[in-house]
Amino acid sequence: MIKIDDLYFKPFLSAQEIAAAIDNLAYQINRDLAGENPIFLGILNGSFMVLADLTRKFSHDCEVSFLKAKSYEGTSSTGVVSLGDELDVNLKDRTVVIVEDIVDSGLTISTLSRKLQQHQPKELKIATLFLKPEVYNQELKIDYVGKNIEDKFVVGYGMDYNNLGRNLPELYVQTERMKNIVLFGPPGAGKGTQATRLKDKYGLVHISTGDVFRYNIKNGTELGTLAKSYMDKGNLVPDEVTIKMLKAEVEKTPDAEGFIFDGFPRTDAQAKALDELLASKGTEIAGMVALEVDDEVLVERLLERGKDSGRADDANEGVIRDRISVYYKQTAPLKNYYAAQNKYYGVDGVGEMDAITERLSTEFDKL
Ligand code: AMP
């Protein structure tokens, strides 16, 4: 996810996918207009990249010119098309191809087309890299389309939001601000169980560092072997290793609408690393939501879970108490880290599972 001005955008089409759309457009135009010496008329500012790439794929003689038109302010069409009249080529009896980056309602292109017809070209063709068929509502026929896309506000590859983002080589689509939540609490507080429920409800990606370590242990990876030596004793895996792994997990879903971090951060260094990682993506932690549960309840729950969870660290009361004490020493102080930023939300973690989900949801809704 990236932030442009005050809005958030997520990846939509890669540079390769855009190149494929350009190839598609170029193929159709090469097929139809060989020998016509067409004039490609780019509509500024958005079409400068399309025109540059398209004309390089046109294998015959052609001329290139530009025209300035504008009907967007922010993310919606103003409905008013302003047109610069500075045409520097004579269109009379020429084959003209208007080149657009994107056509949505079609208002700009049809106004333009009417105006250009007055110059009496031999033929006036319309080419657009992207078309939004759901919202296109004009009579005018669009002759060449690189790719149809859904009706979303896109930025990049020449297209802007408040004049920014034109230089991006990929296409991005507007999205909600990411909702990143640290689900916090001591071992046995119910973070994993609740995260599984909440991730579906809120469309978030759940990352449990404990689960990732256990997956690595099960698959006998080097990381798993290393982590196991700490986990079996109830100690924390070193920050360097955990942070690197967490970053890799986050990178696996670049278009996530947000994350529930479960079991991370557990130390001050991890909290700082998480802030830096999210800041580099133009986002941040919305809040830490903590399940508050008494120690004796935790021990009881973990011993119960250990009967069939297969987790070595749940089987033995000594290890359980060590984990709780590691929690108080190294992890619990993170409450202050987030409280200092007004981002700490405590929730009673004792009671019926559904009731706890409700309590957590009340806090999630506020974030
Ligand atoms: P959990 O499943 O969250 O209870 O984690 C189980 C064990 O994995 C912990 O006791 C640690 O040994 C290790 N672990 C999980 N997350 C972290 C983390 N953020 N930092 C260090 N160690 C972790």
Residue 81 is predicted with a pLDDT of 58
> How confident is the model over 170-200, as pLDDT tens digits?
999 998 778 999 999 999 999 999 999 999 9
Q: Which residues contact 244 (CB under 8 A, 6 or more apart)?
A: none
Residues 105 and 189 grouped into a single domain:
no
Distance of CA 180 to the CA centre of its chain: 12
pTM of structure: 0.64
Residue nearest to ligand 1 atom 12, measured at CA? 231
Residues 107 and 110: their CA atoms lie apart, in Å, by 5
Residue 155 is predicted with a pLDDT of 97
Residues 139 and 95 grouped into a single domain:
yes
Residues 15 and 148 grouped into a single domain:
yes
Residues 314 and 231 grouped into a single domain:
yes
Residues 191 and 161 grouped into a single domain:
no
Number of Cβ within a 10 Å radius of residue 253: 11
Residues 364 and 367: their CA atoms lie apart, in Å, by 5
Strands across the sheet containing 2-4? 2-4, 7-13, 171-175, 154-155
Residue 108 is predicted with a pLDDT of 84
First to last CA, the chain: 18
Residues 195 and 135 grouped into a single domain:
no
Residue 121 contacts residue 96 (beta carbons within 8 Å)? yes
Q: CATH number for the domain including 252?
A: 3.40.50.300
Residues 18 and 141 grouped into a single domain:
yes
Residues 207 and 155 grouped into a single domain:
no
Q: Which of 114, 147, 175 is the last residue of a domain?
A: 175
Domain count, the chain: 2
pLDDT tens for the chain, residues 1 to 367: 788 998 888 899 999 999 999 999 999 999 999 999 999 999 989 999 999 999 999 999 999 999 887 665 566 666 555 555 567 889 999 999 999 999 999 988 998 899 899 999 999 999 999 999 999 999 999 999 999 999 999 999 999 999 999 999 999 999 877 899 999 999 999 999 999 999 999 999 999 999 999 999 999 999 999 999 999 999 999 999 999 999 999 999 988 889 999 999 999 999 999 999 999 888 899 999 999 999 999 999 999 999 988 888 998 899 999 999 999 999 999 999 999 999 999 999 999 999 999 999 999 999 9
Residues 147 and 195 grouped into a single domain:
no
Q: Which of 144, 175, 206 is the last residue of a domain?
A: 175
For the chain, state the CA radius of gyration: 28
C-beta of 236 in contact with ligand 1 (< 6 A)? yes
Environment class of 80 (CB within 10 Å of its CB; exposed 0-12, middle 13-18, buried 19+): exposed
C-beta of 266 in contact with ligand 1 (< 6 A)? yes
Residues 186 and 166 grouped into a single domain:
no
> How confident is the model over 101-118, as pLDDT tens digits?
999 999 889 988 998 999
Residue 319 is predicted with a pLDDT of 94
For the record, the structure tokens of 151 come out as 């009706």
Q: Which atom of ligand 1 is nearest to the CA of 234?
A: 10
The preferred substitution site among 211, 213, 215, 324 for testing ligand 1, maximizing ligand atoms within 8 Å of CB, is: 213
Environment class of 222 (CB within 10 Å of its CB; exposed 0-12, middle 13-18, buried 19+): exposed
For the record, the structure tokens of 35 come out as 């020998």
Residue 171 contacts residue 18 (beta carbons within 8 Å)? yes
Residue 107 is predicted with a pLDDT of 87
Q: CATH number for the domain including 94?
A: 3.40.50.2020
C-beta of 188 in contact with ligand 1 (< 6 A)? no
C-beta of 237 in contact with ligand 1 (< 6 A)? yes
Q: Which of 153, 175, 197 is the last residue of a domain?
A: 175
DSSP annotation of 255 reads T
Residues 364 and 19: their CA atoms lie apart, in Å, by 40
Domain assignment of residue 39, given as a range = 2-175
Task: Return binding residues.
Answer: 188-193, 209, 214, 235-237, 263-266, 270, 305, 311, 323, 351
Residue 237 is predicted with a pLDDT of 97
Residue 235 phi/psi, 5° resolution?
Answer: -95, 170
Residues 114 and 228 grouped into a single domain:
no
Task: Return binding residues for ATP.
Answer: 188-193, 305, 351
Residue 37 is predicted with a pLDDT of 97
Residue 82 is predicted with a pLDDT of 56
Please report how many Cα atoms fall inside a 13 Å half-sphere around the Cα of residue 293, on the Cβ side. 23
Residue 352 is predicted with a pLDDT of 95
Count of helices and strands (H, E) across the chain: 12, 15
Distances (CA, A) of 367 to 80, 137, 285: 38, 38, 10
The preferred substitution site among 207, 228, 237 for testing ligand 1, maximizing ligand atoms within 8 Å of CB, is: 237
Residue 187 is predicted with a pLDDT of 94
Residue 115 is predicted with a pLDDT of 87
Residues 194 and 161 grouped into a single domain:
no
What is the DSSP secondary-structure string of 278-303?
HHHTT----EEEEEE--HHHHHHHHH
